[in-house]
A and B are shown apart, each in its own frame.
Chain A
Amino acid sequence: MKTRRGVALALCGALLGCGGASAVVEPGVVAQATDRSGPGLGRGVETYEVDGVPVIHKQTPGSAIVEVRLVFGRSQHDVGTPPGAARLALDVATWGGGVGGSRAEFAAGLEAHGATLGSSVGYDYAVISASCIEGFVDETWASLAAAVSDPAFRDGDFSLRREQAVAGLRAELDDPDDAVGVLAKQAAFGGHPYSDRPQGDLDSVEQLDLAALRVAYDELVTRDAATVVVVGNVERARVEALVRAALGGRPATGPARAAVPPFRFGEGRVVTEVRPGLPTHYVLGYFAAPPVDSEDYAALQIGLAVLSDRLFEEVRTKRNLSYAVASGLSLRRAPTGYLYVTAVDVDTTLGVMADTVHGLISPGVTEGDLRDQIEGYLTGFYQGLETAGAQATMLADWQLIGGDYADADALVERMRAVTPDDVARVIDAYVRDIQFVIVGDPDGIDLERIEGGLFEFDGGLGTPAPAAAAGPTP
């Protein structure tokens, strides 16, 4: 029961206030090969430690691609620097390279081998990535190690990347599809650690200086928060050398990873962004969802997949109310579900969507519906296993968010155990108190109806399963 133990250790660590990286690999287990038959994320995975840094290493026979993720279990809200500093710090480090050469030499060296370095800071963790083909691993990893261990942080690099980041923030609402995503998170995440969004805000990023970036980098990129994910045909000795070169000189510890409470919205809400003349409306609503280790997660995952198919059929196919309609569930320490649609007639469309949600409660779904969704999920899951990059991302996600990469494979079995009653119960319990954002012209839309009970069914089928006060901590 490695899966559950990993979660239990993580929760224990969080409750005791000793959040560190030690739960990624079980104490005392130096190397652990995973023997799993058939396709699966865990197949071919070996876990080991290098000077205390956990490594998840997946061999992929037949693939020429090698992907590395240096993952750090902290985000913007864990560090004490201004909003946006963490993301810009990692960006400047991986864009400009290490102190040992010029930026031009660094970039040319990567390009000559078709290799790329990148970085991101998400809501739950930060990552520095490298991607190359097998024949150019040595050159690429040397550049990666140089950039990570001692980034140059040149004034010119910083100024240019900050200006580009500021321009991006100024334009992030230009496209209404992007705007509804940004505004919906803003509306739903207020008062939660996730409101300290990784990309920061315009005022903050404009005021950032190199000193703030250095602090953010030193607080993020520490050995205690690190997990290394490698997908590709590389010998373990080369991975060990990379880990030592990249992380050996980094600080041992950083700030504790903050607890992330689950969302509790309490009531529905609609925020409007007025765009007169837009030919359609963009609508996105978030609702609270259970943590990934909750008994309810698998049921809601499959329930929202059924719902997405039914929305397509009821909204698009039968009533031609929309081109794009969907529902789904995020994988985060504090997850949210969502409903999304673009429509000219918002009232009618949301009414049909509400009826469709209610249909999952009564009369409900069938065993056949659930079987079909499992098959569809497996098709998508196998597609994710085709590319080294997607596997590296899945391994990092499930390790850093779920607490154990093996949970990705286990989710299929959890979904197989879901019953129609489970789906009715979790839809009733979670698809409510939706935080909607509408981009378009709200004139004539019955906003009170949307806020005041359109998606409240009072099915009385159950309440959310008790959620932990914090997600798993690596």
Chain B
Amino acid sequence: MVDRQRGHGKRGRAARWLAATFVATLVGLGAETVSSAAWADEPDRVEVAYDFVHRTTLPNGLEVVVIEAPSVPIVTIEIAVHNGAFTEPPELNGLSHLYEHMFFKANAEIPSQEAYLARQRELGMSFNGTTGDERVNYFFTLQSSQLRAGMEFMAAAIQTPLFDPDELVREREVVLGEYDRNEATPTYHLFDRMADLLWYAYPSRKDSLGERDVISTATPEQMHAMQARYYIPNNSVLVLSGDVTDEEGFALAASIFGGWERGADPFVDAPIPEHPPLTGDVASVVTQPLNMSVLQLGWHGPDTRNDVSATYAADVFSFVLAQEGSGFRQRLVETGLLLDVDLSYSTQRYVGPITLTAVMVPGREEAAIAAIEEELARFGDPDYFTDEQVRTAQTLLAVSDVYGQQSAESLAHTLTYWWASASIDYYLGYIESLYAVRREDISRYVSTYIAGRPRVAVLLTSPENAQEQGIDDAWLLARAGRGEQ
């Protein structure tokens, strides 16, 4: 399954709300307590604790995280790997995703996918995998009485895939079927065009679906090469989430995954190229049969390697604008001009995208773009938002974490998302860092990454509306570009 979710990772992040103080206890690396006395005198703060998150690292480099969430007798076993679109040059674009499909097939312990599925049913297990820009993850959820069996099943799948040539040929067609479904969806073409233009130098590094011809000609040798390079313990994290203790989880991990052989750092031999900045505005119109128009503006945002503090400011600002009472929504949506509008930022290790997405009734494009431009011009104004709205944004983000912590499987996905795009420490300190964001941090984020910065504009509309309104690339650039540059 291709994970094309962008900019929503923080909504799914997990935290635990308590009425007490903030305490993060990291067991396994030695107890460590983090507290924030500065929070104590601030009322209505949603406080969080991570004392249910335990971690260690095996001698082979495999990071192991145990999340104790024993409300019901189930456990999720998840492995994530630093793999995905960001590791793919054009000639390999789509193979991380194909590999993800092949994970659920024959291995040294299980002779075929039919046998694999039979074992899955026997264990009463739900399972899936996703491939994104910077992470590939695999997860099984089953009753906790089957934890050991499930971990052994996972270990065989990740360490000993066979990549049977016949199974690969058949699975290529299944992946192309997934490709078909994407291409049949009108909004896919908007997102695809935006990615191509935003990441113009290395579009394959942000396209987890990949290219049809690469997928349709993939070979077992390519799969084995990917396994050797990326599917190694020192490039992976194992998460056990649910009805499991740290003691049991760590012991099982050492016993079952301790023999997984360490490999060379994959990013020494295959370094990730830097996406060059946009040098000017670009606009493109995409036509599809649909009854709405969707405008998307895109910028290069911060990433967790180069400007981590701006990543927190980005999330807070997005949630300031998302409030019903924000001037942004009041003027754009509550007036009836747009059906919806959203500014989002996706936290990533290699340049996170900022996207403004506006949905409108066909025919309103010109007025909508003009109004959006007015908002963009005001983003840097000191009175554009209030301190109360900043506080509300922080509350909304913290509360969304509390919701995310209810589900063991959701917790596992959340943790591996942040492991891939930032680090586990980033995850554990996320809420505290959000509450530390101040007005000047948001101003710096806006001025560095949005205001006056080069951008990509893509408009999705019907061919009939484009013709009726005279909309083409030049029309769009004249209205959704920055004018004289």
Determine if chain A interacts with chain B: yes
What residues make up the interface of A, taking CB atoms closer than 8 Å to B? 39, 62-65, 104, 107-108, 111-114, 133-135, 159-160, 163-164, 167, 170-171, 173-177, 275, 278-280, 282, 309, 312-313, 316-324, 342-344, 369, 372-380, 382-383, 385-388
Q: Which residue of A lies closest to B188 (CB)?
A: A175
B336 lies within 8 A of chain A by Cβ: yes
16 further A-B pairs in the complex, CB-CB below 8 A; given A64-B402, A112-B392, A174-B289: A64-B16, A107-B323, A108-B323, A279-B184, A280-B177, A309-B117, A320-B173, A323-B174, A344-B180, A375-B122, A376-B121, A376-B124, A379-B74, A383-B72, A383-B409, A386-B69
3 closest cross-chain pairs (CB), A and B: A375-B124, A114-B399, A323-B177
For the complex, give the distance between the alpha carbons of A313 and B210 in Å.
Answer: 25
Closest residue of chain B to A322 (Cβ to Cβ) is B177
Decide: A108 and B186 in contact? CB cutoff 8 A.
Answer: no
Show 21 residue pairs from A and B whose CB-CB distance is below 8 angstroms, ordered by the A residue: A62-B71, A64-B402, A65-B406, A107-B323, A111-B323, A113-B399, A114-B395, A133-B399, A317-B117, A320-B173, A320-B174, A323-B180, A324-B177, A369-B121, A372-B121, A375-B123, A377-B124, A383-B74, A383-B407, A383-B409, A387-B403
Interface centre among A134, A278, A376, by most B CB within 10 Å?
A376
State in angstroms the CA–CA spacing of A376 and B118 once bound together.
Answer: 12
Which residues of B, 91-146, contact A by the 8 Å Cβ criterion? Answer: 113-114, 117, 121-126, 141-143
Measured between C-beta atoms, what is the minimum distance from B322 to chain A in Å? 9
CB <8 Å contact, A159 and B114: no
Are B291 and A170 touching (Cβ within 8 A)?
yes
Chain B 154-177 interface residues, beta-carbon cutoff 8 Å to A? 170-175, 177
Is there a chain A Cβ closer than 8 Å to B478's Cβ? no
Is residue B19 contacting chain A, with contact meaning CB distance below 8 A?
yes
Complex CA distance for A373 and B122, rounded to whole angstroms: 8
Given the contacts A133-B46, A324-B181, A159 and B336 also touching, CB distance less than 8 Å: yes
Whether the pair A379, B142 counts as a contact (CB closer than 8 A) is: yes
- Given A135-B19, A167-B339, A379-B74 in contact, is the A309-B121 Cβ separation under 8 Å? yes
Determine the chain A residues whose CB is within 8 A of the CB of B407 once the complex forms. Answer: 383, 386-387
Contacts known (A379-B74, A387-B406); A280 close to B184, Cβ less than 8 A: yes
A378 to B408, CA, bound (A): 15
Instruction: Say yes or no: B72 contacts A385, CB within 8 Å.
Output: yes
Tell me, yes or no, whether B183 is within 8 Å of chain A by CB. yes
Kindly state whether residue B228 has any CB partner on chain A within 8 Å: no
The 8 Å CB contact of B292, one of A134, A171, A369, is A171
Give Cα distance in the complex from A173 to B289, angstroms. 10
- Does residue B368 face the partner (Cβ distance < 8 Å to A)? no
- Asked if B396 and A114 sit within 8 Å, CB to CB, the answer is yes
B411 closest partner in A (C-beta): A386
B324 at the interface (CB under 8 A from A): yes
Most buried by A among B174, B325, B339, B399: B399
Q: What CA separation (Å) do A320 and B166 show in the bound complex?
A: 11
> Are B336 and A379 closer than 8 Å at their CB atoms?
no
Question: Is there contact, CB below 8 Å, between A320 and B292?
Answer: no
Report the Cα distance A312→B143, complex, angstroms. 22
Task: List A contacts of B260 (CB < 8 A).
Answer: none
Q: Which residues of B contact A62 (CB under 8 A)?
A: 71
Q: Does B290 lie within 8 Å of A174, measured CB to CB?
A: yes
Q: What is the bound-complex CA distance between A160 and B143, given in angstroms?
A: 47
Most chain A CB inside 10 Å of its own CB: which residue of B124, B143, B330:
B124
Distance to closest chain B CB from A349 (angstroms): 10
Complex alpha-carbon distance, A385 and B141, angstroms? 14
Which residues of chain B are near A313, meaning CB under 8 Å? Answer: 114, 117
Q: Which residues of A contact B173 (CB under 8 A)?
A: 320
Q: Mark B63-102, 1 if CB is under 8 A from A, else 0.
A: 0000001011110000000000000000000000000000
Whether B122 contacts A108 by the Cβ 8 Å rule is no
Taking the closest CB of chain B, its distance from the CB of A345, in whole angstroms, is 11
* Chain B 255-276 interface 0/1 with A at a Cβ cutoff of 8 Å (1 = within): 0000000000000000000000
Give min CB distance, A276 to chain B, whole Å: 10
Of A63, A175, A374, A376, which one neighbours B185 at CB under 8 angstroms? Answer: A175
Which of A39, A104, A174, A378 has the most chain B CB within a 10 Å cutoff? A174
A111–B396 CB distance below 8 A:
yes
State in angstroms the CA–CA spacing of A388 and B402 once bound together: 12
The residue on B at minimum CB distance from A439 is: B184
Residues in A whose Cβ lies below 8 Å from that of B44: 112-113, 135
Contact check, B171 vs A382: say whether CB atoms are below 8 A apart.
no
Query: How many whole Å from B161's CB to the nearest CB in chain A?
Result: 16
Quick check: is B373 within 8 A (CB to CB) of the other chain?
no
Q: Which of A65, A170, A383 contacts B141 (CB 8 A)?
A: A383
B113 neighbours in A (Cβ, 8 Å): 317
Tell me which residues across on chain B come within 8 A of A322, comparing CB atoms.
174, 177
Name the contact of A114 in the complex, choosing from B19, B46, B185, B339 (C-beta under 8 A). B46
- Known contacts A39-B73, A65-B406, A164-B339; A379 and B126 CB within 8 A of each other: yes
Contact partner of B114 (CB less than 8 A), chosen from A278, A317, A380, is A317
Contacts of B121 in A (CB 8 A): 309, 369, 372-373, 375-376
The answer for the CA separation of A63 and B405 in the assembled complex, in Å, is: 9
- Chain B residue numbers with a CB within 8 Å of A320 are 170-174, 177
Which chain B residue has the least Cβ–Cβ distance from A157? Answer: B334
Q: Which A residues lie within 8 Å of B396 (CB)? A: 111, 114
Q: Are A176 and B336 in contact, with the CB atoms below 8 A?
A: no
**In the bound complex, how far is the Cα of B404 from the Cα of A63, in angstroms?**
12
Nearest B residue to A63, CB-CB: B406
Q: List residues of B (356-415) whose CB comes within 8 Å of A's CBs.
A: 361, 388, 391-392, 395-396, 398-400, 402-403, 406-409
Shortest beta-carbon distance from B17 to chain A in Å:
4
Question: Contact at B72–A382, with CB atoms within 8 Å?
Answer: yes
Whether B178 is near chain A, meaning CB under 8 Å from some CB there, is: yes
CB pair B17 A171 closer than 8 Å:
no
Encode contact with A along B312-342: 1 for CB under 8 Å, 0 otherwise.
0000000000011100001000101001000
Closest CB in chain A relative to B415 CB, distance in Å? 16
Among B126, B183, B185, B406, contact of A388 (Cβ-Cβ < 8 Å): B406
Interface centre among A159, A176, A323, A344 (most CB of B within 10 A): A323
Q: How far is the CA of A133 from the CA of B398 in the complex (A)?
A: 11
Q: Is the CB of B117 within 8 A of A65?
A: no
How far does the Cβ of B291 sit from chain A's closest Cβ, in whole Å?
A: 4
Verify A107–B324 contact, CB threshold 8 A: yes
Residue pair A280, B180 in contact (C-beta under 8 Å): yes
Separation of A369 and B122 alpha carbons in the complex (Å)? 9
Tell me which residues across on chain A come within 8 A of B171, comparing CB atoms. Answer: 320
Residues of B within 8 A of A163 (CB): 336
Cα of A342 to Cα of B174 in the assembled complex, Å: 11
Picked from A111, A279, A374, the residue with its CB within 8 Å of the CB of B183 is A279
Known: A167-B361, A323-B181, A342-B181. A174 touches B186 (CB 8 A): yes
B53 to chain A, nearest CB (A): 16
B400 touches A114 (CB 8 A): yes
Compute how far the CA of A379 lies from the CA of B127 in the bound complex, rounded to whole angstroms: 11
Say which residue of B124, B187, B292 sits within 8 Å of A379 (CB atoms): B124
Contact A174 B180 (CB under 8 A): no
Q: Say yes or no: A342 contacts B180, CB within 8 Å.
A: yes
Say whether B181 contacts A174, CB under 8 Å.
no
Closest approach, in angstroms, between the C-beta of B252 and any C-beta of chain A?
A: 19
Chain A min CB distance to B31 (Å)? 23
Docked complex Cα distance between A447 and B79 (Å) = 45
A5 and B2 alpha carbons, distance in the complex (Å): 48
In this complex, what residue of B is CB-closest to A113?
B395
Cβ–Cβ < 8 Å partners of A375 in chain B: 121-124, 143
Tell me the minimal C-beta distance from B201 to chain A in angstroms.
Answer: 29
Q: What's the minimum C-beta distance from A114 to chain B, rounded to whole angstroms?
A: 3
A279: which B residues are within 8 A, CB to CB? 180, 183-184
Contact at A379–B117, with CB atoms within 8 Å? no
Provide the bound-state CA to CA distance between A318 and B69, in Å.
Answer: 38
- The interface residues of chain B lying within 8 Å CB-to-CB of A282 are 184
Quote the shortest CB–CB distance from B232 to chain A (angstroms).
28
Decide if A379 touches B125 in the complex (CB within 8 Å).
yes
B324 and A104: CB pair below 8 A? yes
B19→A386 contact, CB < 8 A: no
Chain B's closest residue to A139 (CB) is B44
